[in-house]
Structure 1
Amino acid sequence: MESIKSFLEVVHPVLAALLATTFTWLVTALGAGMVFFFRELNRAWQDIMLGFTGGVMLAASFWSLLSPAIEYSERLYPGWSWMPAAVGFLAGSLFIFGLDKLAPHLHINFEESETEGLKTNWHRTTLLILAITIHNIPEGLAVGVLFGASASGVEGVGITSAIVLAFGIGLQNFPEGFAVAMPLRRMGISRGKSFWYGQLSAVVEPVAGVLGAAAVVYMRPILPYALAFAAGAMIYVVVEEVIPETQRDKFTDQAVLGLIVGFTVMMVLDVALG
């Protein structure tokens, strides 16, 4: 941990964000690679994994993003410290809302008739990949923004916090990659293609991470808004996508427990290490 911290402290924050989000992408690929070793993913475990993902994202949204945004705003806007967090949070939610309405996509466990976004004749596989890609944009953005914030001297946001967030996102990306690749395999797609599409869904994370870090580094006044923007985007994804996907079978209680565990793990990581 210390060697990683020392290395990332001396590189440019945009490069650090690129390296960190490349790590989260590779962990997704590692999870998708499980399709080579397993024939099937039990539905209960799939829902538990998705619940865990949602829990990590919810905890990270508050402790890693919203709380620092409010603390930083107290110095910039005395008496109005809630304002940047509220504006950024709403903007991030509306951004994903807009993508959700425009980009054709299909959530895991949903029927093809439940495709969302603009009407299209695209294959079910493409629609599934696009759904997870939308999901991964705020994750990469959150990591990038936090690395940019750590280089800006924001109180309570150091390089350790950024590393912990990247580790937490990577932790939930492993079961997520598995949960994406296995449904594709069940559709009759080869193991190789299921792996390829599973990892491809997270390739957007390094792109979003670099953009988020660059925006914060070169336009520092937007920092509290950017932190809250990433939080709003992640929470929208959890409520609109992750939770509904876990509530479409008989394993709803297990999925909720998975969410609680994910939330607790990310909270402990952030509070204890960040």
Structure 2
Amino acid sequence: AMGYGPVVARIGLYAIVAKLQRRSLVLSMWAFIPLLLLVVGIVYWEIWVCEGAHLGRRFVIWLYDIAAIRYERIKQFDPMWEQQFLAGPVAKVLGTLPNALVLDVGAGTGRLAHSLFQLPNIQARVICIEPSKSMLKRGQSRTPSESTRWVRGWAVPLPFPDESFDLIASLEILEFTPHPMQTIEELARVLRPGGWLLVTNRVGKEARWIFRKTFTRERFPEILGDVGFENVEVFRWQVTYDLAWAQKKG
């Protein structure tokens, strides 16, 4: 019987080692959970909150290509709200600019043009520039071809000569461009002296997490002034966006 002692000891040792290994595995799994939650949180933040803003413009375009067919449902645009707070004010400005040429930068599915041309007697032409092929195609189907032209391209550089447009709109895209300040400067470049800029700035709790892509409410009017705009008015437009009207000096 004594000859079995070493065997029993080894079996006991193996059992202890196996138990420790199981505990180590369990502990490793528990330690992995916070890391997994962190990764999930970062992915959620970057894709859902920031819409890929820090992952490069091609990733942003890929996201919008996927979302194009459901974009209006996701955004839940209210036609009456759009008429009152977007198309109406734009139409009022266009009333002072006969046969105006309008540029919509980051036009999406044609939000501005679609809403604007629902109104009567709009004497303007709108050029919509949009990098997402799927969004552009969707936008073409929602806007009148005789008064709207679509161009696939980036916000920087814009494929237009200096001082080409009477009014430029850039709604809910500034924070998704690689360098928002450069984007504002490019908008100013192609706007005629005396022309109007309509641009949004991301605000609210989420804005602070879109690093180096947004401006504070206090700083945004100053930036527009620094670039060469006057008569700057900023309105609290939506929960997550302020809307600025600004006129180019000259």
TM-score (norm 2): 0.26
Q: Give the strand-richer structure, 1 or 2.
A: 2
Q: Give the helix-richer structure, 1 or 2.
A: 1
